[in-house]
Amino acid sequence: MVKIVMVVLKGNLVQMLKRVQHDKIKFFKDSFNFFSFLFLIFGAIACAVPPQDSLERQQNSAEPALRGSFMLSVQKAPPHDIQSVHLAPKGNPALPPVIKLHSPQKLVLSFDYLSEQNRQFRVEVSHRSRDWQKSPIGPSVYLDSFFQTYIQGSEESFSQQPAYQHLEYEFPNPQLRPIVSGNYLLEVYSYSGDELLFSVPFFITEDRGALQTRVETIFAQRKDAHSLDQLFSTYRYPPFIEFPQFDLGIAYTQNQFWGRMREAGFLNTFGRGEISGHIDRNEAFISDYEIKVLDLRSFVADGQQVLEYRPGTTPPTVILRRDVQNLDTNPRYFSASGLGIPIDDRSSGYARVQFSLDTDAAVPHSANIYIVGDFNNWMINDLNKMSYDIQQNLWQGHALIKQGEYAYKYVLVENGVMDDLALDQGFLAPRQEYLTFVYFKDPTHNFDRLLKVGRVVSR
């Protein structure tokens, strides 16, 4: 009964806020504290009488922390029957999920549900701080809409091995419209119930100020001979910034690995309206970071990467040429940011792809080796764990992958730490993509706004 009352009251309150905002009545600002107080009351009731399914969702979503993970700790990997999750600006699938506030730009979430039956999903978004904790502001502040909406339409695939439903969701839209900048987490649930299926981050920037970031490569600084990229930024901030050294923050990511975002050190003001920052040398990124390319635009055996194609199984089986530690048998120079885009043609199919890795004797047969890449959102998954085949003297593993072109790696996991450099010293290094984020701590509501996002690709 309490849950029903809360839903009704929240629905009425959101509608009231929308009418007030659309009429631009001053009453909205004067009554902000009153509405915030009501939300606190509703939150207190919800905490006092938590529904059982909500408790089960919290318990089931808890996962052990993994140091060195590519993805955020708040992200949840999709279940096995949801594949090819991709979020990017509309018309630019290779770009990161960043759009400008109050602009015509859209983001498109796409994914496949492996079933012949249509299914509906629920979408929720939450505003996050720069370190991905929940913001102190509520949905009435960061959304000019309901805080949840639904994905109802899908397209059935022509492929039947396996059959799947392709879904796309475009936003902002009238049902989901963020009105403040910052980090956001998009969560997809089953249509009814509280089962969280997967989550992905996105960013809304105000695109204010002028940002310049340069990359300086440092050689001979590591025992393993890897070179480093140190990032330096200069930001000309808007006039409303009064205390830039205290209220501004600069952070960097490499190749859209959100879980490895690194903060710039102490910020310096060296001119009127300008501030500079950089990451320390001991926080610098690997400049020759190595990633393999998987070209599965066609499953036909080409003698290069695909050795054998077995269409008689469900799903079909694709056997790849073995990878060898310290050796790249298919060298290509590329930018990692241009990969990871599944072919969304309804005739595109899935295959059970077999990977093989030949390691040196220093890697014990008991090691925990995983295959990670764009096709599994760079998340550690037991379905993609490799096992050692004594007869063939090879590590073997599998992944369900849709036709497309992807980046991937082999990584070691030991004692809760992921080592992504141990197995690929010989792979050819791609160009590195770096994103710079400039955050501003809003002094009124105490949340992190995102003023500017810059992108640079190393040479």
Evaluate whether 149 touches 175 at the Cβ level (below 8 Å). Answer: yes
**Which pLDDT tens digit goes with each residue over 183-198?**
999 999 998 888 999 9
Of the ranges 35-49, 103-117, 325-339, the best mean pLDDT one: 103-117
Element holding 244 (H helix, E strand) = helix 244-247
Helices 2-22, 32-48: axis angle to 10 degrees equals 160
The mean pLDDT of the chain is 84
- Torsion sign across C-alpha atoms 86, 87, 91, 93: negative
pTM: 0.83
Residue 429 confidence (pLDDT): 65
* Rounded Cα–Cα distance for residues 413 and 409 (Å): 13
Residue 163 confidence (pLDDT): 93
- What's the rounded mean pLDDT across residues 107-128? 94
Evaluate whether 204 touches 186 at the Cβ level (below 8 Å). Answer: no
- Torsion sign across C-alpha atoms 17, 130, 135, 257: positive
Residue 153 class from Cβ within 10 Å (0-12 exposed, 13-18 middle, 19+ buried)?
A: exposed
**Which pLDDT tens digit goes with each residue over 430-459?**
789 999 999 999 998 899 999 999 999 987
Q: How far apart are the first and last CA of the chain?
A: 61
- What's the rounded mean pLDDT across residues 120-145? 95
Give me the residue label for tokens 């509309």. Answer: 90
